[in-house]
Structure 1
Amino acid sequence: MHPDQSPLRARSAPRHVPPLLLDVDQMLDEFSRQAVQAEFRFDPAMPAVITVEFLAERGPGVVWRIGRELLHRGLTEMSGSRDVRMWPTLPGERPSSWLLLETQEVEALFELPTAELAEWLDATYRITSAETEMDALDWDGFLLGLTGGPETPGE
């Protein structure tokens, strides 16, 4: 790809990217897989974060919010740390990446097809470039949310 065609640079594009529904494999153990659907959603108001919902056959899905840059980098190299990590699989029949999600209680490893995800992520970068994704963030609201809001005198 020519440097001027970097997917990380915004180009004129529609202001909406439809959700991406991917068939992924959840690794149950070293030899067993379970097919799962994952829906990736992009919100131009929060472009640095991708919402991923792993849809269950029965019951509610599980929602994770994952950094868009982490997903993008994980298509080609090790990306992330601690509770969310992603890296490409070994070369094989179809290009794919591993996505590892961890909490104190559970660990889940998924194999994601990279071609569709890469194309979808490129579409999000055409709406909001990596360089401008933090420009629209409401920093005051974000910080108030982290700190629980302004303190009331006398408390």
Structure 2
Amino acid sequence: MHRDQSPLRARSAPELVPALHLDLDQMLDEFTRQPVVAVLRFDPDLPAVITVEFMSERGPALVWRLGRELLHRGLTAMSGSGDVRMWPMAPGERPSSWLLFESEEVNALFEVPIPPLAAWLDATYRIIPAEAEMDGLDWDGFLRELLEGPGASPE
């Protein structure tokens, strides 16, 4: 999806699905890995979107919003297009997927462990199933704001 440049934070549902602190490896080059902690949050008000905060020892954290479906599909097959893609690694010692961010600002490749992410995503789908992700959205308000701009009033 996109890197969040706003100060807004996603509301989390810790009583339903606690944030997931995930140890990743960022691939700096073919042979160099840098450990990174990613904190994933699920907001039941925006169930199709997962907020991922990449914690950094050397600077501010980076916040990205990713499609829940992209993450889920990326555990078993190629998923995503454009700036964000995810796919499983070849079978090896530990089941992992690659998560790739490519944009003008960022080019980063992460190794993501599958078991903890899969279990956490399954918990989010038990709260809001995939087929119910768009239920309750204010489509009229969304389209009005999209077409008329922020703050447009209903007729």
Letter of the structure 1 residue corresponding to residue 109 of structure 2: L
Query: Distance in 2 between the 1:22 and 1:94 partners?
Result: 15
CA–CA separation in structure 2 for the residues paired with 1:57 and 1:145: 38
1:70 counterpart residue number: 70
Percentage of identical aligned residues: 71
The residue type equivalent to 1:25 in the other structure is D
Aligned residues: 138
CA distance in 1, matches of 2:127, 2:78: 25
1:42-67 CA-partner distances (Å, limit 9, x unpaired): 00000000000100113320011000
Q: Secondary structure, in 3 states, of the residue corresponding to 1:91?
A: coil
Of residues 102-111 and 117-126 in structure 1, the stretch that sits farther from structure 2 once superposed is 102-111
- TM-score using structure 2 length: 0.83
Which of structures 1 and 2 has the bigger CA Rg? 1
1:19 matched to 2:19: yes
1:144 deviates by: 4.3
Which amino acid is the alignment partner of residue 66 of structure 2?
I
> Are 2:117 and 1:117 aligned?
yes
What is the match of residue 86 of structure 2? 86
Tell me, which stretches of 5 or more residues in structure 2 are unaligned?
1-13
State how far apart, in whole Å, the 2-side matches of 1:96 and 1:54 are: 18
Runs of at least 4 residues off by over 6 Å: none
Q: Is the 8 A contact 1:15 1:127 kept in 2?
A: no
Distance 1:145 1:78 in 2: 33
Residue by residue, what CA displacement relative to the aligned partner does 1:78-132 show, whole Å, maximum 9, x if unpaired?
A: 0000001000001001100000011113210000000000000000000000000
> Which structure's relative contact order is higher, taking Cα pairs within 8 Å and 6+ residues apart?
1
